[in-house]
Amino acid sequence: MRLEIGNKIAVLDDVLKGVVTDVSDNQVIIETEDGMKFSFLASELVRIDKDQHELSKFSDINNPLLKEKTKLNRSKKSLFKKDKNEVVLEVDLHINQLTNSTRGLDNYDMLNLQLDTAKRKVEFAIQKRISKIVFIHGVGEGVLKSELLRLLNKYPVKYYDASYKKYGLGATEVYVFQNSN
């Protein structure tokens, strides 16, 4: 990547952003918005092509642009599985199952879409008196799983790791308590 005078940049391991004011050999001088000048190696910098405001316009889950991008894949196969006369709602939270394209979505937007889907499915199960849900979230770094468990703590449910034999390591089974009314 070639940096030139006038490029907007961000420092990789810091919270600094600025504009390139001078480039000599491998040293780059940047000036922050408050007028401070810093010197960095070119390898410590990354050029910003789009402003963060432009990227975060999808952060609002009700934003029409986000809704347009997240038209759910409506396949004919059933989400419900019968397991010994028990209805189990299986929900795959992998982002490629929830949207046609992740273009324009950052990690925050994708996580919010996944959690919003999980929330809707839990509320649907409570409303329709479905006693079991299996959320397939994958292994990864565990961010989605930990946020999912935090969300589940707000509902009258009990959760535990789903069957390793059936789902592998990346699934959580949720038992929804049903009141007798």
Has residue 55 got a pLDDT over 90? no
What is the biggest distance separating any 2 CA atoms in the chain, rounded to whole angstroms?
A: 75
How far apart, in Å, are the Cα atoms of 87 and each of 53, 75, 82, 126, 160?
Answer: 44, 19, 5, 13, 17
Has residue 47 got a pLDDT over 80? yes
Three-class SS state of 58: helix
DSSP H/E element including 71: none
Cα 74 from Cα 154, distance rounded (Å): 28
Has residue 75 got a pLDDT over 80? no
What value does the mean pLDDT of the chain take? 81
DSSP H/E element including 68: helix 64-69
Output the pTM of the full model.
Answer: 0.54
Three-class SS state of 20: strand
At 4, is the pLDDT very low, low, confident or very high (cuts 50, 70, 90)? confident
Has residue 46 got a pLDDT over 60? yes
pLDDT at residue number 139: 85
Taking each helix axis from N to C terminus, what angle separates 107-128 and 143-152, rounded to the nearest 10 degrees? 40
